Amino acid sequence: MSRPKVLVAMKLVPEIALDLLRKRFDVEVCDSILVTQAELMKKVPGKFAIFCSPANKIDEELIKTAGPSLKVVGTISVGYDHVDMTAMKKYGIRLGYTPDVLTETVAETTVGLLIATTRRFFEANHAVKTGGWKDVTLVWMCGRGIRNSVVGIVGCGNIGTSIAKKLKAFEISQLLYTSRTEKPAVNALGGKLVTIDELVEQSDFIILSIALNEDTKFIINKERIAKMKSHAVLVNIGRGGLIDQDALIEALQENRIGGAGLDVMTPEPLPLDSPLMKMDNVVLLPHIGSASIETRTEMAILTAKNIIAVLDNIAMPKEVQF
């Protein structure tokens, strides 16, 4: 009797997670670094599960192509905006994801990205490597410090709360946040729940750590960018679609805000001819918020366990309810 099949829609998944799957399934691992939709469509028919990432679009066409054998999608991410939830519900397919295990790693990345942007680390490093280190004036390569600043966190779930705890140690003057409800853990740090418009107007540093959905798409738009302080630094570790990127580019080109640190953008990978690539007041990272060896391994194991749980017809360790 043949075993159910799993399609792993990426290359170089930690072997410990693949070994868990191989004990119960026939596993097919895609051998491309960037798996195209056409490749997925070709490989997905007859599969019981898809092990995917935000780089893979799980839409109704793919689900229909997989056929009735498809029972579960396991995404190695917290966000699932790449998954068509309406189609998943329509065809009765379960969805596993990986919250919690990446909280601290993403929070660490956020703090590092904020410091690198406001203190101009990448720009300074480039100067060292290209012979630009000749200016010895007191103002050369000066950025703004975090101490005594107002920090605003848009979306204070687990990751936002961890970011708040870490930044509090920098002796900031005020902590603002947005959330659907009051967050006692953030309030205990001196945080204040405000509207998004109050936050963008008052903050020196604005951090996006909110999920992308229809309500949050372009939550940072042209109008809200216009309300920001002229020295404000915007950091995004959520999803590229949270920001109207064209409006951000225009504001950065005209120096209407201080800078931006982006771990996520639109599209991904970002084209080499994007204006963002040419700006000194922008720090770009290739969506590596959770990229520690330990965290990525934990995420892969959790994704495998989510898939196995569906085979065993039991509750997933981490399942999206819809």
Q: How far is CA 233 from CA 29, 53, 64, 257, 259, in A?
A: 40, 29, 44, 7, 5
> How many angstroms from the chain centroid is the CA of residue 7?
23
pTM score of the predicted model:
0.92
Q: Residue 1's pLDDT is what?
A: 67
Beta bridge partners of 152: 176, 206
Of 68, 62, 54, give the one whose Cα is nearest residue 237.
Answer: 54
Q: Is 2 helix (H, G, I), strand (E, B) or coil?
A: coil
Radius of gyration of the CA atoms of the chain, in A: 21
Q: Which two tokens stand for residue 146?
A: 């975090």
CA atoms of 55 and 77, how far apart (whole Å): 10
Give me the half-sphere count of Cα atoms (radius 13 Å) on the Cβ side of residue 322: 18
Query: What's the average pLDDT block by block, 10 residues per block, for the chain (322 residues)?
Result: 93 96 97 91 98 96 98 96 97 97 97 98 95 89 97 96 97 97 96 98 98 96 98 98 98 97 96 97 97 97 98 97 90
In sign, the C-alpha dihedral spanning 225, 226, 228, 229 is positive
Q: Residue 322's pLDDT is what?
A: 87
User: For residue 262, which phi and psi values (nearest 5 degrees)?
Assistant: -125, 120
The verdict on whether 287 is a catalytic residue reads yes
CA atoms of 237 and 92, how far apart (whole Å): 31
Specify whether the CB–CB gap between 21 and 27 falls below 8 A. yes
CA atoms of 250 and 232, how far apart (whole Å): 15
CA atoms of 160 and 289, how far apart (whole Å): 13
Q: Residue 136's pLDDT is what?
A: 78
Of the residues 82, 126, 231, 287, only one is catalytic, namely 287
> How many angstroms from the chain centroid is the CA of residue 178?
18
Beta bridge partners of 156: none
Residue-by-residue DSSP string for 21-53:
HHTTSEEEE---SS--HHHHHHH-TT-SEEEE-
Q: Which amino acid is at 54?
A: P
